[in-house]
Structure 1
């Protein structure tokens, strides 16, 4: 089986900007990614996905293929390799990995790689699954994309797939703790507060799971910094991953013009909802560099 060295996993709460970051990093000529239009529909066609990775480097057809088969999380692909991976009620840890899942994941990952694109790049959102994936790949790298929790909550309330409307008994994040349940009840079962609790749960899960990794295997970037200095952030990311800062990649990055849309929560939420939201997020905002009532500063 082909060697799989230092696969790269992008993680983060949904609506945090990980999709645009993923697309940026997929522009690097050394990484192999999951073609969404293919593996979402035909999760077992890994050999064909590898052929796509070869073809995207061909002149003329490469650009067309990349646009049509955009990189995605491809949860049907993951479910085929390891049941429950896509929507567990808690974070997946090392003890959840079966030997069968390990072998299937490593085999599929090896099949995706090509001679040129020999570094696997994967994006997953929600639970970080760091412990689980580290048990599969003991040298895996993880990049956490974090965004102002107020913007994340506002975005969750606007999308059509947020399960919080059905209550925490029916969402995918497990039961609320006694303290979380009390907080939600005290708010009058506010959905703004419930979405804030979800964001806190996920960033807490990343902190817990990443603690054993050290700086060599874990990196955190902010959506806001990516928007403000796209090339600068991507150059740091390339260095962390051990990817060359090649001219073709630099040119691909320079074509992106990212716009920070965090301020939309002020337009969408009432003043009362904004106050509820900031109270629910509490010290989490400042911890990640988003103090209330002022401009964001560097993370503490």
Structure 2
């Protein structure tokens, strides 16, 4: 049997949809390493103009120092040597995707694994940007009942928005995922459901491995065994990941959501919920004022996305480095940096 391709794995979905659980299941695989959220991938993408042409050694050094030294990047959660990470970027191919890949490969080497992935729920908004950096990426979209996502977000100390915004977020994740599925096709986009994952872990993970070109390993069904090394201790809201997989939080929206929130979520998300196999409770239609609040929130989020895409298109006309895609991410081989100035 030929060895599986070394393609980048990207896990995404609405926040509180179970992406951390899936991250750990993948990390438990003997060939795959998926770190906790790093926060430096999109940050460096949107700030790439600050570093200039990466064909220059000094600019690659500045980029590397930014990734490694900036506190909010959470590089420290990777548990790898910063100097080695800097050297890997400086001596690697002169593209942004290659620089980022170098850091993730270093993390995978920490566990003696040949393949790496990255997980962040909000990546669903940035699939195009991620594919610019990692053209061969395989996107894994995890979907959970939108009412459960809203109910769970309400419980999070770090969540600064209201439940109406949470509903709009879930709708976005569904819509962006569907658009990506149509555009990318079955070889690069894979959709799975949280409820199926916790009910039939082996079956669901076997199917996921088939998509990734990997052999299923039973260790994937025991993600709690790797939680200590793959989930930072400060993330107390992920304490369930240290336990065996269970259904304790599935369907909890009935207790967590107020009656008006149930009515609104089923009014504005109803078609998407049904389309993804979730039954509605039969709650009456939401009040017009609440529907209007949702519509305003969703519109503002769409406008923000259009502004972001317009900015990216403009920047792409004036890229400091002609190519930002990772070089030969399938092989994992190291490359010479290529020609440069100064």
1:280 to 244, 262, 268: 268
1:259 to 247, 252, 265: 247
Q: Output aligned runs, 1:1-300, within 5 Å.
A: 5-34=6-35, 72-75=36-39, 77-78=40-41, 81-83=44-46, 100-114=95-109, 116-128=112-124, 129-164=126-161, 191-246=162-217, 248-249=219-220, 256-293=244-281
Counterpart secondary structure, 2:22: helix
Q: Call closer, same or farther: CA 1:84–1:12 in 2, change over 3 Å.
A: farther
Deviation at 1:18, TM superposition (A): 0.9
Which one has a bigger Cα radius of gyration? 2
Question: Once structures 1 and 2 are overlaid, which stretch shifts more, 252-261 or 21-30?
Answer: 252-261
Which stretches in structure 2 are left out of the alignment for 5+ residues? Answer: 49-71, 74-93, 226-242, 283-342
Deviation at 1:113, TM superposition (A): 4.1
Question: Once structures 1 and 2 are overlaid, which stretch shifts more, 122-131 or 221-230?
Answer: 122-131
State TM-score, norm by structure 1.
0.63
CA distance in 1, matches of 2:42, 2:120: 13
Deviation at 1:288, TM superposition (A): 1.2
CA distance in 2, matches of 1:251, 1:153: 27
Counterpart secondary structure, 2:204: helix
CA distance in 1, matches of 2:134, 2:24: 23
Counterpart secondary structure, 2:166: helix
Question: Once structures 1 and 2 are overlaid, which stretch shifts more, 105-114 or 214-223?
Answer: 105-114
Deviation at 1:233, TM superposition (A): 0.7
Question: Number of aligned pairs?
Answer: 216
Q: Contact conserved, 1:127 with 1:205, CA < 8 A, in 2?
A: no
Q: Call closer, same or farther: CA 1:248–1:224 in 2, change over 3 Å.
A: closer
CA distance in 2, matches of 1:251, 1:17: 15
Q: Contact conserved, 1:32 with 1:117, CA < 8 A, in 2?
A: yes
* RMSD, matched Cα: 2.9
CA distance in 2, matches of 1:219, 1:288: 14
Which stretches in structure 1 are left out of the alignment for 5+ residues? Answer: 35-71, 88-98, 165-190, 295-300
Deviation at 1:218, TM superposition (A): 1.0
Q: Call closer, same or farther: CA 1:134–1:266 in 2, change over 3 Å.
A: same
